[in-house]
Chains A and B, each alone.
Chain A
């Protein structure tokens, strides 16, 4: 009883009787955090709908005096301009990014999910060791693998192919997927599978027809996270796929940035366009993503 009363008074003290001073401080901090988190991304958008001449003007206007979609038209090939060669790579590379990210996500969900299920439910030889290996992979600076990937994929004839990227991307996505799915399946009661077995399912049917259909949140977390990682990956794609037309979006955007004759406003448009799919995806799936990532991490 005493504890309940104390908790109530604590809550009361915390939520109701917050002094004016601490309220001002709190709302001040909230504004700072909000500006810090989205200000830069909003400014990227502002620059992408501005003319470069207005960005160069002194004093700088925070609200652009002229708004234009010309920058987007240029990178989409609707307006001709002097750097259209580089800009014309954007749409094809976006398609490549999409293909790679979807394939890696599908692959991860297909095999990482079953592995996560096995780790959550069963005891089997080498379980601890292989789990440790997966955890270890997460603690590994993956950059050390890139030289090996380069030579291995070159030997396999997969350099400059999307297949090569799919293979390479599994190295940093699969351990996460297994971990997220393992944490998710641990929250699904084991009685569910047991009753399915009693009802005459075999073990695989119990998994595929009974457990998997209630695993939407876990699958969405694992899938959205994998997709985001692949969509955003830069260094591996930059190094492995150098032939024109074979690379993904981030190297193309970085390439635009490397050319001095392209206005920043045009680069900003390509950056904003490239960022949008991942940002939207993450915001749409945020509930599952946050749950999946924190459950998988806080426990692991």
Chain B
């Protein structure tokens, strides 16, 4: 009993903090999505949280949701988001796995190369965006410079002018930033696979790809699950790169749901519809986590 009381004493500050900075804002955002938020009139009903009067605004039911679902831009942004997340998850997982497989081999300089994995990942997304502008820009981008020099193109290309190209550029730039973390997880997983399994497979005459398919991949299943979940959440979240690279444009061609929700809330100050958009995004995200869990971990647990 004394032990339990001591433990509660230890976790209490964290749980209070999580309540104040995560659970309460989460519930409050949900509430906001059902209200008419007028930033100039905050005198109405309110709830007190540690002495702070948090305004509740006027309840208008599902009106915000009706309004956003009525907007064609919402639906086109949703499809774009799904494309973005799908392409990003695929690229981050495949490239992350590929880099991990290379870094798992033994070669001179491996520790150094493993450290370099941390470089793209430790940069602020603002810097990631800037740095890729330096590579992709149509006046001073180094990629244009190199491609011109080797004769692939005869004039500089604007990679962000065509909408669909710009969307794919965002996917790849984000992947550059995030795939190294997937590699770190995969590497940790690879190192924990028993060498006996490989030698047994080799005795059975399995080549590199067969060993990968029948030994490595099944053993990495929980980590694949983790990488898929993290990449999905991060894909849905992505905002900062859009801000730096495209601002949702050209037109609305790189407007994803998170960007639409963000702009609706903070550029047009429509908090009700904005939070409604962000909430549908959250629901989608959690739904996918649940699906992954069923698909990958459930089919794996009976064997383990």
Q: Spell out A's residues near B (CB within 8 Å).
A: 3, 6-7, 9-11, 13-15, 26-27, 29-30, 33-34, 36-38, 40-41, 43-44, 47, 52, 55-56, 58-60, 62, 110-112, 114-115, 117-119, 121-125, 127, 130, 133-134, 137, 139-152, 155-156, 167-168, 170-171, 174-175, 178, 203-204, 207, 228, 231-235, 238-239, 249-251, 253-254, 257, 264, 267-268, 271-272, 274-275, 278-279, 281-283, 286, 289-290, 293-295, 297-298
Q: Which residues of B contact A283 (CB under 8 A)?
A: 115, 118-119, 122
Pairs of residues from A and B, 3 with the lowest C-beta to C-beta distance, nearest first: A60-B145, A232-B124, A148-B25
Assembly CA distance A168 to B122 (angstroms):
21
Asked if A30 meets B8 with Cβ closer than 8 Å, knowing A6-B196, A170-B21, the reply is no
Q: With A114-B10, A115-B10 given, is the CB distance from A10 to B135 under 8 Å?
A: no
- On whether the beta carbons of A167 and B271 are closer than 8 Å, the reply is no
B107 and A144 form a contact (CB under 8 A) = no
Given contacts A125-B8, A130-B15, A141-B281, contact A155 B42 (CB under 8 A): yes
- Inter-chain CA distance A156–B51, complex, in Å, is 9
Q: Which of A118, A127, A144 contacts B282 (CB 8 A)?
A: A144
In the complex, what distance in Å separates the CA atom of A93 from the CA atom of B98? 38
Number of A-B contacts (CB under 8 A): 324
CA distance A120 to B187 in the complex (A): 25
Beta-carbon contact of B202 and A13 below 8 Å = yes
Interface of B is mostly: helix
Interfacial residues of chain B within 234-269, with CB under 8 A of chain A in the complex: 236-237, 239-240, 243-244, 258, 261-262, 265-266
Contacts of A271 on B, CB cut-off 8 Å? Answer: 126-127, 130-131
Given A55-B140, A152-B49, A238-B243, output 19 extra A-B contacts at Cβ < 8 Å: A6-B196, A7-B195, A33-B102, A34-B116, A37-B120, A40-B135, A124-B4, A140-B285, A143-B239, A147-B275, A148-B28, A149-B25, A170-B21, A204-B6, A235-B240, A235-B262, A250-B124, A253-B126, A253-B130
B56 to chain A minimum Cβ distance, whole angstroms, is: 10
Interface of A (DSSP majority class): helix
Q: How far is the CB of A270 from chain B (nearest CB, A)?
A: 8
Q: Is the CB of B131 within 8 A of A151?
A: no
